[in-house]
Copies of this chain bind each other. A is one copy, B any other.
Amino acid sequence: MIRIALADDHKMFAKGIAGLLEEEDDLRVDGIFSNGKDLLDFLKTHEVDVILTDMNMPVLDGAGVLEAIKKTSPKTKAIVLSMYHDEAIYNRSMKLGADAYVLKNSDPDELIYTVREVFEGNYLPSYSKLQQQTESDEYTDYYKLKFQLSKRETQILRMIKNGMTNKEIAASLNLSLFTVEAHRKKIHSKLKVSSVSELIRKAIDIGI
């Protein structure tokens, strides 16, 4: 039996995940919390095998949880739940000792699989696994078909969504600023938007 505790400030989502995991015979959710502090308090008196934590939480965020866990109960495995396909957040999580990084809009089976593998100690986190999570998502596929974004466009859209400027994107991909601007114009026309804010919103909606 794999004992689990989780923290996520979106209560509906937290309860949701818990129900999902409880359906599995070998998984048991012992605690559901909506911030990191409540989770850590719980862990003072209860032992679990795996914790799932969101990064953005009030009072004590995911980073704080990871740090504390690695100190106080190093045997406990930690899986980060994140809304963002963002390399910077991914790297920060790993540095803080996370054992896995799962996107919130990935398939529920993906999460269950990861919990088991992490528990067994067989899971080797990598950024390419994160790539796969978004790529295997059938709905992203649908939108890819609907909006016909090319690979480069998808990549750049993701970077814009993650808060990067055209200049930063150009530097990061070794492209001319003009090229990035050209891609951006194409993205705008394909997604029928005309500003960053609309763009980001659309990107979130279609789960890119």
Residues of A within 8 A of B (CB): 9-20, 22, 34-35, 56, 58-59, 83, 104-108, 111, 139, 142-143, 146, 160-165, 193, 195-198, 200-201, 204-207
Q: Determine if A111 and B195 form an interchain contact, defined as CB atoms under 8 angstroms apart.
A: no
Q: Determine if B105 and A10 form an interchain contact, defined as CB atoms under 8 angstroms apart.
A: yes
Q: Determine if A58 and B139 form an interchain contact, defined as CB atoms under 8 angstroms apart.
A: yes
Q: Determine if A9 and B139 form an interchain contact, defined as CB atoms under 8 angstroms apart.
A: yes
Interface SS of chain A: helix, strand, loop or mixed? helix
- Pick the 8 closest A-B CB pairs, nearest first: A16-B16, A19-B19, A58-B142, A56-B205, A163-B198, A163-B197, A196-B196, A58-B139
Give the complex CA separation of A174 and B104 in angstroms. Answer: 39
Give the complex CA separation of A193 and B35 in angstroms. Answer: 23
Q: Determine if B11 and A108 form an interchain contact, defined as CB atoms under 8 angstroms apart.
A: yes
Chain B residues near A11: list those with CB within 8 A. 105, 107-108
5 contacts between A and B (CB under 8 A): A12-B111, A13-B104, A34-B139, A58-B139, A200-B200
Q: Determine if B12 and A20 form an interchain contact, defined as CB atoms under 8 angstroms apart.
A: yes
Chain B residues near A196: list those with CB within 8 A. 195-197, 200
Q: Determine if A143 and B58 form an interchain contact, defined as CB atoms under 8 angstroms apart.
A: yes
Q: Determine if A12 and B143 form an interchain contact, defined as CB atoms under 8 angstroms apart.
A: no
| CB proximity of A148 to chain B, nearest CB, Å | 14
| CB proximity of A100 to chain B, nearest CB, Å | 15
Chain B residues near A111: list those with CB within 8 A. 12
Chain B residues near A198: list those with CB within 8 A. 163
| CB proximity of A9 to chain B, nearest CB, Å | 5
